A and B are shown apart, each in its own frame.
Chain A
Amino acid sequence: MTSLAAEHIDEQQIVRFLLGELPEDERQGVEGRLFQDDSFYSHVLAIQEELADNYVQGDLTPDQRKQFENYFLKSPRRKERVDFASAFAGALAQNDNATSAVFPAAESSDAKWWSSFTAFVPKLVPIAAAAFALILLVVASSLYLQNRRLKNDVRQAQSDRDSVIRRSQSDGQTLDGKVDQLQREIANLRTQGGDLEAKVQEKQKELAALQRSSRVNRVQPSTVGLANFILSPGLKRGEDEPEKIIIAPDAKLVQLQLVLQREEKYKTYIAEIRTARGNLISSKSGLTVSRTDSGPVVSLVVPANQLLAGEYELALKGADKNSLEVVGYYYFLALRR
């Protein structure tokens, strides 16, 4: 399937297309592009979902709403989109509530402490309460000053980490030293107070990602010019970043080892690599699972020259006789030395 570059997505035009408002010649132009440009088709489907969301949430203009009901809802298939949009909005809303219940926010523990305190205060004589409040004020001031100092330390450490990541793109050899430095800083922060524990943990996650990157970077082209990278599904690195893979100039081939989230039943797999804009650049079929220390892994090899610097999405699909199903998406940022 050819996939033309989706340089331009005219969202308003697509909305008008979906609402049956485009003149026939313009409509045929959109339809022709749908068949030739996979990325464009994906966008139209995505905008169709958002249109259904907007209808459910009452975000359409009165004219759009009228057209939506007179045209869009003519089709049972599209009516299904509205049903799903409605259920989806409900699930997200209820999920938020459930998440709040399971993972109470930090403020709620503070609130609990405060309510206990306020319940306790009336039992004290006013002078004792005042004395207690004074002591509390002194302690709070001290904690505040300590917090500020620790926050500065964290900020400094984060700055160091960021510079490590930047430098790692140009010189992977410096990573080890910086990793050690970050570890020392985290150890120092740990000894200075528990109230920044969450931040320390967050930094540790980032450090783990950095170490993984460091490990990956070391597995660089051997004599056969094969660069090897291990990818996990979803967005893994740090908080929200895709995995970074650094490809040396002399790498001829890139091996991607895709860690599966769980055991899958499929005999073979298909891997499709797309750019951030959705253009298909590589598709490999007949892939199989192998067992490694990281768990079940599907490996594929792509020519290094196909992976220009930029962000990619890899869709891994399980295939059997009757179905083809996505088992995971892997995101990575290819960097060139």
Chain B
Amino acid sequence: MNAVREKWQLTREGLDKFLVALSPERDEAARIYEALRGKLISYFDWRNCGMPEDHADEVLNRVIRKIDQGEPIADPSVYVFGIARMVLLEISRAAHKERAALSELRPVPVEADDEMTQLRIDSLRECLSTLSDKDRKLITLYYENEGGASKILQRKQLARSLGLELNALRIRACRLRERLEQCMKRRLTRQYS
């Protein structure tokens, strides 16, 4: 990665200091760390940077180095965002110099892979069957729609029937969907390993 210019290496002590800065509780700190890394990956991905995971790790390494060097950090999430912006700037400059502008990334063609799609569908159906009845009902009703305005209306009605706000229902459905995706990936990995 071009943005990586420092020779500083991540140390166990530095990582420990960073985790303590995130939370005095180790497990909670680990959770926050993972959440921050996920946001960084999304950040670079939404900026159309290739290898967003590498950039996310670079940001975290820099933050850890700062903490290891004794720099006080009041709000780690704000600080991380600041470093992420700097790394993004560096990536843009480097890309410009190398005439490999970010805009040259080409859209990934959506190709129909019937066999793979069917494998995913089969795995997802199995995963759906592992959900509790209520969760399965919720996700089915949430995504069941006829498209257009009726979709919004249906979801509002579902939210009302559950005594939820639409946004809360959306997050709940999205989390169930994430669980299903994790489950699908595990099953597909097992099938191909």
Contacts and interface: CB of A to CB of B under 8 A. Distances in A.
A324 B34 contact: yes
B134 A49 contact: no
A57 interface: yes
Interface stretch (B6-14, B60-68, B164-172): B164-172
Contacts of B52: 77
A278 B25 CA distance: 22
B39 interface: yes
Interface in A223-279: 233-236, 240-242, 261, 268, 270, 272, 276-278
Contacts of A44: 42
Nearest to B105: A74
Main SS of chain B's interface residues? helix
A15 B122 CA distance: 30
18 contacts: A2-B77, A36-B77, A43-B170, A73-B108, A75-B45, A75-B105, A76-B108, A88-B124, A90-B120, A94-B121, A234-B132, A234-B135, A235-B134, A235-B162, A272-B31, A276-B168, A319-B30, A324-B34
Interface of B: 22, 25-28, 30-32, 34-36, 39, 41-43, 45-46, 48, 52, 75, 77-78, 80-81, 84-85, 105-110, 117-118, 120-121, 124-125, 128, 131-135, 137-140, 143-144, 147-148, 151, 161-165, 167-168, 170-177, 179-182, 184
Nearest to A56: B110
B120 A84 contact: yes
A76 B174 CA distance: 20
A306 interface: no
User: 7 nearest interchain CB pairs?
Assistant: A285-B27, A87-B120, A91-B124, A46-B174, A35-B81, A234-B132, A276-B168
Given A1-B32, A46-B173, A311-B168, A98 B125 contact: yes
Contacts of A70: 107
Contacts, number: 185
Interface in A130-148: none
A319 B25 CA distance: 14
Interface of A: 1-2, 6, 9, 17-18, 20, 28, 31-32, 34-36, 38-39, 41-47, 49-50, 53, 57-59, 69-71, 73-79, 82-84, 86-92, 94-96, 98, 233-236, 240-242, 261, 268, 270, 272, 276-278, 283, 285-286, 311, 313, 315, 317, 319, 324-326, 329, 333
A91 B184 CA distance: 11
Nearest to A70: B107
B77 A74 contact: no
Contact of B168 (A2, A89, A240, A278): A278
Given A35-B77, A92-B128, A241-B162, 18 more contacts: A35-B39, A35-B43, A39-B171, A42-B174, A74-B107, A77-B41, A87-B184, A91-B121, A95-B140, A234-B135, A235-B134, A241-B163, A276-B168, A278-B167, A278-B168, A283-B31, A326-B175, A329-B176
Contacts of B108: 73-76, 79
B121 A2 contact: no
Nearest to B32: A1
Given A75-B48, A241-B163, A35 B168 contact: no
A95 B165 contact: no
B171 A46 contact: yes
A276 B165 contact: yes
A270 B107 CA distance: 39
The residue among B32, B42, B148, B173 with the most chain A CB atoms within 10 A of its own CB is B42
Contact of A329 (B28, B30, B34, B175): B175
B46 to A, nearest CB: 7
Given A92-B143, A326-B175, A36 B78 contact: yes
B143 A326 contact: no
Given A36-B77, A76-B108, A96-B140, A329 B165 contact: no
Contacts of A285: 25-28, 31
B48 A74 contact: yes
Contacts of B167: 6, 9, 43, 277-278
Contact of B134 (A28, A240, A313, A326): A240
B106 A74 contact: yes
